[in-house]
Chains A and B, each alone.
Chain A
Amino acid sequence: MAEVTLHNISKSFGGLTVLPDLNLTVPDGSFTVLVGPSGCGKSTLLRIISGLEMPSGGSVRIGGTDVTFEEPSKRGISMVFQSYALYPHMTVAQNIDFGLRLAKVPAAERKARVTEAARILALEDYLDRKPSQLSGGQRQRVAIGRSIVRQPQVFLFDEPLSNLDAALRTQMRVELAQLHQSLDATMIYVTHDQVEAMTLADQIVVMKAGRIEQVGAPMDVYDRPQTAFVAGFIGSPRMNLLPGTAIGRADVAQVGIRPEHIGVSSSVGTWAARAQVVETLGADTVVYAKVDQVGDVTVRLPGNQRLKAGETLFLTPEPQNLHLFDDAGLRMEDPS
């Protein structure tokens, strides 16, 4: 197990700077999720930690050792790729065993470790199959198995669930969380899916354009987003970001209010709105409404509330759940 420390990491490709200057500590044993939109540099950062990419500046420490210039295989890490990166000509057992074979681990120990990994991941019945004979979820498990047998200090995951369908993704998410609990290893996980980030992480790192916007526990990030970007990125449906004038505050550039923090009434409220689209999700009903002078507002209601598009509603934001942001998009602590 090990702590990962990134110190003043920068990375440029030719003239393009992907990571200007980045510092981050991933605590020992944590499940840290790097999340951000496409092109924010999260995968590059993971590749720098893995050693597949060299940083242009700064240092990487794993378990207290400076590994900035160390080969990937010498860093005590393992990585699960988005495409799984299984060797198509090898069986499941050979795929899982590959790294051990290269490391010349004694045959008996190799067999024991492969069997153990297969047991953890419920792959015992598939050890003799080729990857092409497996489903997406099974392939993903083989890729994870390949990581487990190496007994790394740090597990790296590069968008490992994005090639799976929605149902399987949910299932694998649960399995990954269980795996983290049982292995108690440091895990760094890259995704653009904020639901994965919220559900898996005990530390979320929200990134934008190569910079870290916020680091914190999922509910901290959710409840107290430090920037307007984080406010809009974390949470589904996303937070409403409206002009300060919507709540009569000229000193506030943007005010954020989550869809579930808006009260709805058919007769009285702060804003008069017209429902444009109503999505009934079963447990929830999401209403996309238009408020004159304010803009588009999304509201989340309990599933038993039946509304129709075109209806007039009155919306009231809960004052204690307003998030205020200044011109630079930074959180303002409201003295009032």
Chain B
Amino acid sequence: MTHAADPRLSARARLRRALSNGRVTAVLILLPPALILFTLFVMLPLGESAWFSFFNWNGYGAPEDFVGLDNYERILGHSVFHTAAGNTLKIVAISLVVQMPLALFLALLIYRKTPTNALFRLVFFLPYILAEVAAGLIWSFVFDGNYGVTASIAQGLGFENVFILSDPDWAFAAIMTVIVWKYFGFHMMIYIAALQSVPEDQIEAARIEGARRTQVVRYVQIPHIRPAIAVSAFFAIIGALQVFDVIIPLTNGGPSNQTHTIVTYLYTFGLTRLNIGFGSAVGVILFVGAVTVAIFYQRIFMKRTEA
């Protein structure tokens, strides 16, 4: 037990001790810069955004037309928002169900330190390094119904040209493919780092006890990297809630507003249409959602992995 936490010490004695051992000085010197920056660049914009969300405001001049919760009502009644929210949840699901297992599978194949594995790691990680907009553009060429790779494949197989990104049924599936392709390398790297820290003799002990490769993965490696999986899932969920720049060059939310996420919805219906109050309300909803997820996730999953 530290002295600072000793309940037997009086408040005055605790303050004197904190002053004498430099803790108060450290707090006084180190806290203000972080606090000021955080307030200026995080808390204030958040607060402003929340404030704007109660106004019908186009971004010019001071917001004056107070509408209360009207913006929230409009959003929650808007069918495109429902689609956007549904799409965002689909991305969360695909990230957890497809992207993470794929990343783990590849990580298990190439986590050992060999020159060939280093090459594969680089290749698999490349999409993540690529700028989102560039990735979106590249894939828009791939999916191009007239000249793209998919067009060549369709022609080769004797089908009619397919315009995936213009097809309301398939456009979002194409986008999810790009998202998985773009981000699996990031999760793979987290798993590789974690797998490399699994003690080799535990794997060897399991082999001696008769564990097959899949059993080693299941009983030794995955339990070992569970904290890394928890962190990776956290990033996957928060990242999925924020998907934006891959979608704009691919479909810009179309066709028929079928491929919006919450963020592209905010951008399209809030910013480009100069409904800043409306956009702010979307932002607030997204923020509340993300914080709720973060808090619950930390409470439930991250805590358990520490134990």
Which A residues fall within an 8 A CB radius of B?
Answer: 50-52, 71-73, 77-79, 81-83, 85-89, 98-99, 102-103, 146, 150
Contact B210 A52 (CB under 8 A): no
Q: B185-231: which residues lie under 8 A (CB-CB) from chain A? A: 199, 201-202, 204-211, 215, 219-220, 223-224, 226
B186 to chain A, nearest CB (A): 25
Could you say which residues of chain A place their CB within 8 Å of the CB of B220?
87
Could you say which residues of chain B place their CB within 8 Å of the CB of A79?
204-205, 208
Given contacts A87-B223, A89-B223, contact A102 B211 (CB under 8 A): yes
Contact B207 A98 (CB under 8 A): no
Could you say which residues of chain A place their CB within 8 Å of the CB of B208?
50-52, 72-73, 77-79, 99
Could you tell me the distance between the alpha carbons of A85 and B215 in the complex, rounded to whole angstroms?
Answer: 16
Contact A89 B224 (CB under 8 A): yes
Contact B204 A73 (CB under 8 A): no
Contact A52 B209 (CB under 8 A): no
A155 to chain B, nearest CB (A): 11
Could you tell me the distance between the alpha carbons of A82 and B201 in the complex, rounded to whole angstroms?
Answer: 9
Given contacts A89-B224, A102-B215, contact A83 B207 (CB under 8 A): no
Contact B209 A102 (CB under 8 A): yes
Closest CB pairs A-B (n = 7): A99-B209, A73-B210, A85-B205, A85-B201, A89-B223, A72-B208, A81-B201
Given contacts A52-B204, A89-B223, contact A83 B210 (CB under 8 A): no
**What are some 5 contacts across the A-B interface (CB < 8 A)?**
A52-B207, A78-B209, A85-B201, A102-B210, A150-B209
B225 to chain A, nearest CB (A): 11
Could you say which residues of chain A place their CB within 8 Å of the CB of B199?
83, 85
A245 to chain B, nearest CB (A): 49
Could you say which residues of chain A place their CB within 8 Å of the CB of B202?
85-87
Chain A, interface SS category? loop
B205 to chain A, nearest CB (A): 4
Could you tell me the distance between the alpha carbons of A51 and B202 in the complex, rounded to whole angstroms?
Answer: 15
Of the candidates B204, B211, B226, which one forms a contact with A85 in the assembled complex, judged by CB atoms under 8 Å apart? B204
Could you say which residues of chain B place their CB within 8 Å of the CB of A88?
224
A231 to chain B, nearest CB (A): 34
Could you tell me the distance between the alpha carbons of A150 and B201 in the complex, rounded to whole angstroms?
Answer: 18
Of the candidates B206, B210, B224, which one forms a contact with A103 in the assembled complex, judged by CB atoms under 8 Å apart? B210
Which B residues fall within an 8 A CB radius of A?
Answer: 199, 201-202, 204-211, 215, 219-220, 223-224, 226
Could you tell me the distance between the alpha carbons of A284 and B198 in the complex, rounded to whole angstroms?
Answer: 46
Return the chain B residue nearest A103 by Cβ: B210
B263 to chain A, nearest CB (A): 38
- Total A-B residue contacts, Cβ distance less than 8 Å: 54
Known: A52-B204, A88-B224. 6 other contacts (CB 8 A): A52-B208, A81-B201, A85-B201, A89-B224, A98-B209, A103-B210
B101 to chain A, nearest CB (A): 20
Return the chain B residue nearest A99 by Cβ: B209
Could you tell me the distance between the alpha carbons of A6 and B96 in the complex, rounded to whole angstroms?
Answer: 51
Could you say which residues of chain B place their CB within 8 Å of the CB of A150?
209
A222 to chain B, nearest CB (A): 32
Contact B219 A87 (CB under 8 A): yes
Could you tell me the distance between the alpha carbons of A77 and B223 in the complex, rounded to whole angstroms?
Answer: 26
Contact B201 A98 (CB under 8 A): no
Return the chain A residue nearest B220 by Cβ: A87
Could you tell me the distance between the alpha carbons of A82 and B199 in the complex, rounded to whole angstroms?
Answer: 12
Contact A73 B205 (CB under 8 A): no
Could you say which residues of chain B place their CB within 8 Å of the CB of A72?
204, 207-208
Could you say which residues of chain B place their CB within 8 Å of the CB of A81?
201, 204-205
Could you tell me the distance between the alpha carbons of A85 and B220 in the complex, rounded to whole angstroms?
Answer: 11
Of the candidates B201, B204, B210, B223, which one forms a contact with A99 in the assembled complex, judged by CB atoms under 8 Å apart? B210
Could you say which residues of chain B place their CB within 8 Å of the CB of A71?
207
Contact B209 A73 (CB under 8 A): yes
Could you say which residues of chain A place their CB within 8 Å of the CB of B223?
87, 89
Could you tell me the distance between the alpha carbons of A82 and B202 in the complex, rounded to whole angstroms?
Answer: 11
Could you say which residues of chain B place their CB within 8 Å of the CB of A99?
208-210
B36 to chain A, nearest CB (A): 42
Could you say which residues of chain B place their CB within 8 Å of the CB of A50?
208
Could you tell me the distance between the alpha carbons of A78 and B209 in the complex, rounded to whole angstroms?
Answer: 8
Given contacts A83-B199, A85-B199, A87-B219, contact A98 B206 (CB under 8 A): yes
Could you say which residues of chain B place their CB within 8 Å of the CB of A51?
208
A64 to chain B, nearest CB (A): 21
Contact A98 B219 (CB under 8 A): yes
A37 to chain B, nearest CB (A): 22
B305 to chain A, nearest CB (A): 10
Could you tell me the distance between the alpha carbons of A50 and B201 in the complex, rounded to whole angstroms?
Answer: 13
Return the chain A residue nearest B200 by Cβ: A85
Return the chain B residue nearest A81 by Cβ: B201
Could you tell me the distance between the alpha carbons of A71 and B211 in the complex, rounded to whole angstroms?
Answer: 11
Return the chain A residue nearest B226 by Cβ: A89
Could you say which residues of chain A place their CB within 8 Å of the CB of B201?
81-83, 85
Could you say which residues of chain B place their CB within 8 Å of the CB of A87?
202, 219-220, 223
Could you tell me the distance between the alpha carbons of A87 and B199 in the complex, rounded to whole angstroms?
Answer: 10
Could you tell me the distance between the alpha carbons of A88 and B223 in the complex, rounded to whole angstroms?
Answer: 9
Could you say which residues of chain A place their CB within 8 Å of the CB of B207?
52, 71-73
A70 to chain B, nearest CB (A): 12
Could you say which residues of chain A place their CB within 8 Å of the CB of B205?
79, 81, 85, 146
Could you tell me the distance between the alpha carbons of A66 and B202 in the complex, rounded to whole angstroms?
Answer: 26
Could you tell me the distance between the alpha carbons of A71 and B216 in the complex, rounded to whole angstroms?
Answer: 15
A143 to chain B, nearest CB (A): 8
B74 to chain A, nearest CB (A): 50
Could you tell me the distance between the alpha carbons of A87 and B202 in the complex, rounded to whole angstroms?
Answer: 7
B213 to chain A, nearest CB (A): 12
Could you tell me the distance between the alpha carbons of A73 and B210 in the complex, rounded to whole angstroms?
Answer: 5
Could you tell me the distance between the alpha carbons of A226 and B215 in the complex, rounded to whole angstroms?
Answer: 48
Could you tell me the distance between the alpha carbons of A51 and B211 in the complex, rounded to whole angstroms?
Answer: 14
Return the chain A residue nearest B210 by Cβ: A73
